[in-house]
Every structure is written in C-alpha cells, then in structure tokens.
Amino acid sequence: MKLNENYSNLKESYLFSTIAKKVNEFSAAHPDKKIIRLGIGDVTLPLCKAVVNAMKSAVEEMGVQSTFRGYGPEQGYDFLKNAIKNYYAEKNVSLAPDEIFISDGAKSDLGNILDLFDKDNTVLVPDPVYPVYVDTNIMAGRKIIYINANEENDFLPAPDESIKADIIYICSPNNPTGAVYTKEGLKKWVDYALNNNAIILFDAAYEAFITDATLPHSIYEIEGAKNCAIEFCSFSKTAGFTGTRCGYTVVPHALGRLNKMWLRRQTTKFNGVPYIVQRGAEAVFTEEGRKEIQTNLNYYRENAKIIADTLTECGIKFFGGKFSPYIWLKCPNNMSSWDFFDYLLTNIQVVGTPGEGFGKNGEGFFRLTSFGSRENTIEAMKRLKSLIK
C-alpha cells in the first residue's frame, strides 16, 4: 500500500480552517465579546418560499407509493435540466438537456472534473485564486503555473501568449476579488484556449449578482466558447442553497469526447442530487421564485454597498462589491493580510479573510463578504469607522 504523496505538498490546513481556529481561540479567551463574521461566503437569508413549498410538495410525493422515487438519473432530472436550458436561452445561449449535468455544487464538480484529464496537463490559475482550484490539482500532482492578477490589471489578467497551459481556471465574478470580465476580456481567453488546444474551466457561481446587461453571465455568450469551455454554476449564492447543495455543470457536445466521458464518470462515481432538492432548484426559475430570489440578492447587494461606502469614507482602496458579493480591500498602512486579520479580530471583533490565503498577489489585501445580516453588516462597518478614523 502506498499513499498519495501529493497530499504532502498541500498547506497544512485549509484557509478557512485556520481562520476558524483563530476565531475559536479568541472567543474562548474573550467570551463576552460579540464576533461579527464577514469572512466565509455563507449566506444568511433562508430559502425563499417558492423553493420551500416545492420541496414540501416533493416530500409529500416521496411519502406516497404512486409518486415515490428511488434512484434518479445521475445527471439530473429532465424537469430541472429543461429549466436551466430555458434560463440560458434568455442569454441567447442554446444548450441541449444532455449537455447539462446536475450536481451537489460547483465546488465538487470543479475538483471532480479533473478525473477527465491526464495528470501531465499544465494548469493555469490566476493569482489570487479560490484555493480549491489549486489544492485539487496539487492532490493530483499536476504542474501549476500562475498568471498575475493585480491592481495594475484590475485583477482581470489577459492571456499571455508566452505561457502555454492545457487547463485554465477563470472565475467571473471573481472570488476573491469581485472583478468581472467584459465580453471582450473573455473573448481573449477563448481565443487563447482555441489557439493552444486548451480547456477553460469557467466558474460562474456568482453570475446572478451581475446587473449590467453588457457583462456576460456565461462564457457561452462568447463566440467559440463551446469549443473550449466547461461551465460550472451553483444555487448556493443565487438561491441560498449552501446547506441544501445543488449546482450544475455544462459540458457542450462541441467538446467531443468530454461530454460522454463526464457522463460516464458521473454514472460511476455519483448517485445524483436528491429529487426533493432538485424540485426546490426547479422552483428558483419560476416567476414567483425569481422575484423572491431577486429580493434576497438585492439584500446582499445593499450590504455590499454599505461596506463599499464605509471603505470609501475611511479612504480605503477596494475592488469588487458592485457586481459581486465580495469586497477586496487594500489593507491600510501597508499591513500584511494576517496582521490586518488579527488587528480587526482583536480590536473590533470583525472577521474577514486574509488575501494571502488566496495566493502571493493576495498579500496586503483582505476580503469581506456581503452575505452577513444587515444588522451585523451595519454594526461591523460602524466598528471599522471607529477604528480607522
């Protein structure tokens, strides 16, 4: 028996585990202090009524012999895939139902999709980056190269023809920086991928936060993208499914064998998302569901505005927040990311995410999330103003 020694190349602990440990230690030492968490991107608003009602009805179905369902299709039920297909059609993107695969979330699929690719492929990720992209490839032993995302390019790097990569990760709106690619910006990446016979893994988990009609929600709005891109999306941030778990991955037929390979992988290693959850996800696309979802999204958008306005008032430079739930701020007084984390935790008991945890270029930056409650967001910004001013 031999272990996968690639795990030895991982950092000792996951970023958010380190944060949790620091917060727990502080809380144990100061039980009288109220800690406000604006770090991990978990939602706080409950599932909307349309989703809950759909799930209740599905539960009732499961309790009746004639409507009970056992194992479902591993790639998802047609009713949900057709709802997603129609959603894409509104963006002038045509998809076939068998190009859509229902999953238990984008995070899982972003790692699992790597089963389809040889470990000798070179992976290109922007820095800073969502740690899962890096860690899953380290586990597999792949070579990883980085492209700089920084202030100079507004954290939206363009492809570099001198860099040759086989697998490219793009997240827009971006986690952690909140930056959003234009159609022109994404077209450069699509052209690069086509010219280099590369595949783009496009993370669209936060697309619902985009309100500018000129900005793309899907990479398939870009000509040629179906020939070089797999898209991942999630109901977690769109509809509060962080604890319910549902998402989807689009693998176009134009990618050749990859569509059938992913189907084969899923039917072997995945038993599908529960029927009850998929009925809830279907309700997200109903007229009632959409109205309720937008109410929740507007709530988080307003939280982001409250944070952005406070940072502006305090003279702190930041990115994101307009079309993203994340605000990426520059640590004041040239503080390091972890020093700023400790500074906020110790002095005002506000928790964010140190940018250094997202990569070398994240050093000196800090991520705040708009997913907190309105009360906590306002209180956290009140504390920040009292500390910075």
Within 10 angstroms of residue 213's Cβ, the number of other Cβ atoms is 6
User: Superfamily assignment of 5-47+289-388 in CATH?
Assistant: Aspartate Aminotransferase, domain 1 (3.90.1150.10)
pLDDT at 359: 94
Closest to 99 measured CA to CA, from 284, 255, 275, 274: 255
State the fold for domain 69-286. Answer: Aspartate Aminotransferase; domain 2 (3.40.640)
- The string of pLDDT tens digits covering residues 157-194 is 999 999 999 999 999 999 999 999 999 999 999 999 99
Distance from C-alpha of 299 to C-alpha of 371, rounded to nearest angstrom: 9
Task: For residue 128, say if its preceding peptide bond is cis, omega within 30 degrees of 0.
Answer: yes
Sign of CA dihedral 316, 319, 323, 325: negative
Q: Torsions phi, psi of 65, nearest 5? A: -55, -45
The ranges assigned to domains in the chain are 5-47+289-388, 69-286
Residue 337 confidence (pLDDT) above 90: yes
Residue 287 confidence (pLDDT) above 90: yes
pLDDT at 102: 98
- The string of pLDDT tens digits covering residues 31-42 is 999 999 998 788
Question: Rounded to the nearest 10 degrees, how much is the dihedral formed by the CA atoms of 349, 351, 355, 358?
Answer: 150
- The string of pLDDT tens digits covering residues 345-380 is 999 999 999 999 999 999 999 999 999 999 999 999
pLDDT at 15: 79
In whole numbers, what is the pLDDT of the chain averaged over residues? 96
Render the burial of 314-333: b for 16+ CB within 10 Å, e for the rest: bebebbbbbbbbbbbbbbbe
- The string of pLDDT tens digits covering residues 312-334 is 999 999 999 999 999 999 999 99
**Identical fold between 5-47+289-388 and 69-286:** no
pLDDT at 194: 98
* Average pLDDT, integer, range 80-95: 98
Rounded percentage of the chain residues whose pLDDT exceeds 90 = 96
Rounded percentage of the chain residues whose pLDDT exceeds 70 = 99
* Average pLDDT, integer, range 4-22: 86
Distance from C-alpha of 77 to C-alpha of 100, rounded to nearest angstrom: 10
Residue with tokens 């009288």: 32
Confidence of residue 13 (pLDDT cuts 50, 70, 90): low
